[in-house]
């Protein structure tokens, strides 16, 4: 998945991009289920943070392959919301990233993060 997410930008294949979005959701579901089964120590909590950041990175790479530049941020936010719905525990790992993007991007771009930003602040 890591290699596919890194190469999708070069392939310009929308069908593959949609397939990878679906695979991202499926992998997130597997990780969330595994976390419920093995939540017994700090080692999984630490790897859970790393997995959260990796899933967010994959979502970004898949989004960057969008055909229209305007849809990249919207697609990224949509994927993050989807994986947060599946695995809410990753909120703490990606919250600082979203806060930084929301605060640092130009208004026209950061406003697409508003829904996600408010949701993360509420958690």
pLDDT computed for residue 21 by the predictor:
95
Q: For the segment 46-96, what is each residue's pLDDT rounded down to a tens digit?
A: 678 889 999 999 999 999 988 776 688 999 999 999 999 999 989 999 999
The share of the chain scoring above pLDDT 70, in percent, equals 88
pLDDT of residue 123: 76
- Which of 3-12, 34-43, 52-61 is the least confident region? 34-43
List Cβ neighbours of 79 (8 Å cut-off, separation of 6 or more): 21, 24, 59, 62, 63
Average pLDDT over residues 87-116: 92
pLDDT band at 103 (very low <50, low <70, confident <90, very high): very high
pTM, entire model: 0.85
For 79-99, letters b (16+ CB in 10 Å) and e give: bbeebbebbebbeebbbebbe
More confident residue, 42 or 101: 101
| Average pLDDT across the chain, whole number | 86
Q: Where are the domains of the chain?
A: 2-122
């Amino acid at each position: 998945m890591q290699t596919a997410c890194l190469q999708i930008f070069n392939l310009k294949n929308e069908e593959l991009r949609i397939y990878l979005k679906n695979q991202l959701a499926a992998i997130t579901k597997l990780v969330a289920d595994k976390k419920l089964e093995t939540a017994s120590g700090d080692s999984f909590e630490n790897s859970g943070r790393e997995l959260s950041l990796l899933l967010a990175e994959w979502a970004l790479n898949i989004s960057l392959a969008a055909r229209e530049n305007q849809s990249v941020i919207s697609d990224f936010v949509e994927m993050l919301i989807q994986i947060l719905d599946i695995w809410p525990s990753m909120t703490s790992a990606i919250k600082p990233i979203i806060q930084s993007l929301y605060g640092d991007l130009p208004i026209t771009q950061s406003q697409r993060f508003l829904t996600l930003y408010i949701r993360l602040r509420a958690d």
